[in-house]
Structure 1
Amino acid sequence: MGVIRYHFLSDVLGEQVNVLVIMPSFEAWKNHEGYKKYYGDYKKVKTLYLLHGGSDDSSLYLRRTRIEEYAMEYDMAVVMPEVKNSFYCNMVKGNDYFTYLSEELPRVMENVFSLSNDPSDRYVMGNSMGSHGAFKWALNRPDFFEAAAGMSGAGDLIELGFYDGMKTRVLNAFGNVDEYRGSMNDFKYLIDKNIKNDVKMPRMYSCCGIQDPFYKGAKEFAEYACSKGINIPFYESDGGHTWEYWDRMLPIMLKHMVKGE
């Protein structure tokens, strides 16, 4: 696999951004078919958008998991953007990170790299804050992805304001409760809206460790969706809000998304 750090000026954010990209490689020196497969016929590859958690950046998945091995197994590209502690929001006090993520980033990536623009070839997943970003993207743009997955997501994120150290981040991103409810950040509202409008949603999967402080919220979100007729399989097992848990679950969730199991 090839690993690329790509920098560009974001028109949406008005600043330089960087994205970490894993691309399928080939053994051109040993096997001409490898070259032909990816370059001779200009093959467009399927893509996983992999979203980082709070206080992290795009490098953490490469440093703490075996994502490069998993990408190789499924012959897919992985795009890992950076959005600081924005919760992937068009922030009440801050930049329009959701617009950057959902509109500008894919347009740039699919033009610069050999990535498929077929929705059936696109996937999104994240951990913690990235789980919120993944589900928010999938629920707001249900036509864009084949599948989405969240690991250790908090569900109703407005509740994070009650956790020590999280209040300022939550208010900057979402505003107060009234601004959050019925917005593009409110998952229950988005599910109800999509059902009302008879919108076909991508397959979605969720997991959380039983010892994770976000376990209750993650489970309640999956149960709410299921109560509305939207099946979000919820996988629970021993584990905390840790990279050991996410590295263990990442290949499992990826398999569910890609193979539909």
Structure 2
Amino acid sequence: MKHTLTLLLLFCSLQTLRAGNADTVSIPSAAMHRSYKCVVVTPASYKEGTRRYPVVYLLHGYSGNYANWITKVPAIKELADTYQCMIVCPDGAFMSWYLDSPRDSSMRFETYVGKEIPAYIDQHYQTLPDPRHRAITGLSMGGHGALYLAMRHPEVFGAAGSMSGGVDFRPFPKSWEIVKLLGEPGEDGANWTAYTVMAQLGKLKPGTLSMVIDCGVKDFFIDVNRALHQQLLEKGIDHDYTERPGQHDWNYWGNSIHYHMLFFHRFFQ
């Protein structure tokens, strides 16, 4: 019994040593004239200072913040170490949808997350500063944001993912305060169309963006994800698409992130 306990303690110690390190930093935005907090996870080997690392940008959902992922899924520290990459969790200001709002100049989150934060991270950390070593993913609002930003900024991101992503919010005209960002939706959401992931598909060319997309079969976003999958198939755009048991909650996302990190690891390799 004593020998078994010793081995268990040794195993736990080794697991702890293999976990990455999480720090909270403040990153300024010239576009919005203010700073937001951001969690930066580095692998344990980062302290050695002898190499550069790929980066996965991990976005939170509506009503969330920069600390959601590290609080709800602390295993991302272990994933950073397992896959020898950095994980950066920016703040999307509760309800930005990672858009540059045409109505509110204080909401410029396409510019902030799509350009300013990657530039800051590359300047202050040991990164591999090119699209071949940058990926972006997120949950719900963040799933929309990840695909939207990657499709619009291929010079920044080479791979993207979406977990339970709100890839088309036109069917939900009264939800998530989108009207504050974009104004009234108009007939069939026509005024919002240009800001959806669906509207960005024309920017994609086969082989230019590696994508992993999944959604739970009981999720209220399952229909819009199925529609996105179908359009990608029709356009001949390669992507990984999965439906799994689950709904719109942290149980699903805490499981899903493991698949996304493996996908990005293979992309970086």
TM-score, scaled relative to structure 2: 0.83
Distance 1:231 1:81 in 2: 28
Q: Distance in 2 between matches of 1:72 and 1:193?
A: 34
Matches within 5 A, 1:59-74: 59-65=67-73, 66-74=75-83
Give SS of 1:160's match: coil
Q: Secondary structure at the match of 1:219?
A: helix
Q: How far off is 1:74 after superposition?
A: 0.3
Residue identity in the other structure for 1:252: Y
Aligned counterpart, 1:246: 253
Can you give the 5+ residue segments of structure 2 that lack an aligned partner in the other structure? 1-19
Letter in 2 for 1:49: Y
Cα distance in 1 for partners of 2:168, 2:216 equals 17
Q: Which runs of 5+ in 1 are unaligned?
A: 27-33
Report deviation, 1:200. 4.9
Partner of 2:3: none
How far 1:257 sits from its partner (Å)?
A: 2.5
Identify if the C-alpha distance between structure 1 residues 15 and 143 changes in structure 2 by more than 3 Å, giving closer, same or farther: closer
Tell me by how many angstroms 1:202 deviates. Answer: 1.1
For the Cα contact (< 8 Å) 2:144–2:197, is it kept in 1?
A: no
Q: Which residue of 2 aligns with 1:136?
A: 148
1:56 aligns with 2:68: no
C-alpha root-mean-square deviation of aligned residues, in Å? 1.9
Partner letter of residue 202 of structure 1?
L
Q: Give the counterpart letter for 2:200 in structure 1.
A: L
> Could you tell me which amino acid in structure 2 is paired with residue 60 of structure 1?
N
Alignment of 1:116-127 (within 5 A): 116-127=128-139
Partner SS state of residue 58, structure 1:
coil
Given the alignment of the two structures, is residue 10 of structure 1 paired with residue 35 of structure 2, yes or no? no
2:90 matches 1:102: no
Q: Paired residue for 1:228, among 235, 238, 246? A: 235
Please tell me whether residue 203 in structure 1 is matched to residue 210 in structure 2: yes
Matched length: 241
- What SS does structure 1 have at the residue aligned with 2:247? coil
1:189 to 193, 199, 205: 199
The 2-side partners of 1:125 and 1:142 are apart by: 14
Q: Which residue is 1:23 aligned to? A: 42
Aligned to 1:256: 263
Asked if the contact 1:50/1:78 (under 8 Å) is kept, the reply is yes
Which consecutive segments of 4 or more residues in structure 1 shift more than 3 A? none
- What SS is found at the alignment partner of 1:235? strand
Q: Secondary structure at the match of 1:205?
A: strand
Q: Is the 8 A contact 2:144 2:162 kept in 1?
A: yes
Q: State the Cα distance separating 1:155 from its structure 2 match.
A: 2.3
TM-score normalised by length of structure 1: 0.86
